[in-house]
Structure 1
Amino acid sequence: MPDWVHEWVPVVQLLLNAGALISGAVIWKLYVDNLHAATAVKEATIENVEKSRDYWRDKAEELEKRSPEVFEKSLAERIQIRDAEINRFQEDKEFDKLALRALEIAKAELEQDLFRTQGFRAMLALEDGYEDEEAPTDEAESHTEQELEVLSGDTPKSVEVVYIGEVGVDSGQLMVTDPCYIDQEWQQEPFTLRGGVKPADDAVFSYSYNGACNATVSGGGHGQLVYKMGHEGAGVVFQTAWGDGGYPVYAEKHDGRIVRVYVNVG
């Protein structure tokens, strides 16, 4: 072979190898581009499928919300909420009724205290007239009458305090009793004072002059007198602060009926 052939063979091989490399690079680039295109197509397909899926899922949820079961469940929940509110309001109403009743009772008690206070004040006004040795007259009584108008209930419409007489005292004590017991229950017993002996708070004494004296000279200056059988109720006895003398007695009348009696003994 000529020498030039030996010289060009490497050059030709180099050119062929370069061409093969370039062709391979072009083919690889086309392959990669094809893969990218396929991937983009798949991503677009997936996105379309997801949009379609979301669309039909929203449609299904909307249809499900319109189903009778969902409406029934929603209505049942709302009914339960309303029942709870009604029960709470009823409990509050019952509580308010009890509170209102308690306030009404307290108001009635205060009104009764007011009547007692006004009646007692009228009694003091009468007593001032008695201390001045002025005999009570109809005109004086009319000035002490308490006319109290009320709206409703069992509260009396008028309260009147009047002088009803005088009680004399010669033993420094007074007794409250029913006159019919004097003949039946009064005991004639020796007069023996138990001086210096303080009775118990619930001590009782015989229905007699001796029992009355022992009740008033010991303890708190008063006592409960008992029947012959031993039970309470025969009478109540108490000391007078000024000792012997005559003491005025006043009656408090509610609507004309005597409901309270005052005896100022001191």
Structure 2
Amino acid sequence: MDSQVQSVIINDAPLDSSPILEVKHLKKSFGDLHVLKDISFDLNAGEVLSIIGPSGSGKSTLLRCLTQLETFEAGEVRVDGKDMVVPGSCIGGKIKYAPAKTLRDIRLSTGLVFQNFNLFPHLTVLQNLTLAPIRVLHDSREDARALARFLLKQMGLEGKEKSYPCELSGGQQQRVSIARALALKPKILFFDEPTSALDPELTGEVLKIIKKLAEDRMTMVIVTHEMAFARDVANKVMFMDQGVVVEQGTPDFVFNQSQNKRLSSFLERFSRT
């Protein structure tokens, strides 16, 4: 069991391996509103991508498309070598999604941590962490509980197994949410503004956990308004605005070297807050 739980946190794939996530020309609309206009990027195993940009730029919608909570109209997405849609199937403005088994495999390769925790209020912390591994992965109850306790220890939440979400602080609830996502052993972990619902005093404890996951080479895509955190934790940074990728590159390039005026204006506004 020790090697099993360690594999949840440690990613031994080399940083220069082929991309574990590939997104090409992804487009998404809600009626006449074009939210994602042409999004392309890739991410290698063990890397961390920070996505920054103003509210309404399509960042959260992008994560929802990549985790199959939303469908998209055009483009290609490949996760861990599996295509989410049939390549070249965009005909007449519609794409054909992959068979259900492939989509399920992709879904199990990804985990999403929401802004507002989304824990089951009627379940204890331990039950929140073990429900999906038992029902979805068909893990034994013993293994699921052992993994849950290991993850809670990693999150600094030992002794909280029998607590209910309402008995925890916001920071503790978000750490439980991270542990719950990790309990399904995802290849890629997505974060949608993981500190936006927290008081400033609680933000640091969640960011510390995410930084530890980055140090352990967990592949992550993080949508955040925490600019210093985005710079420090990521291998790559992508700036989105009005549904397009305006700039992307290393943290040093995006934050210090880029000459893009829209990006400069955005970063200047944050430096004044």
Shorter-chain TM band: under 0.3
TM-score normalised per structure 1: 0.22
State which structure, 1 or 2, has the greater radius of gyration over its C-alpha atoms. Answer: 1
Higher helix proportion, which one? 1
User: Which has the bigger relative contact order, CA under 8 A and spacing at least 6?
Assistant: 2
TM-score normalised per structure 2: 0.22
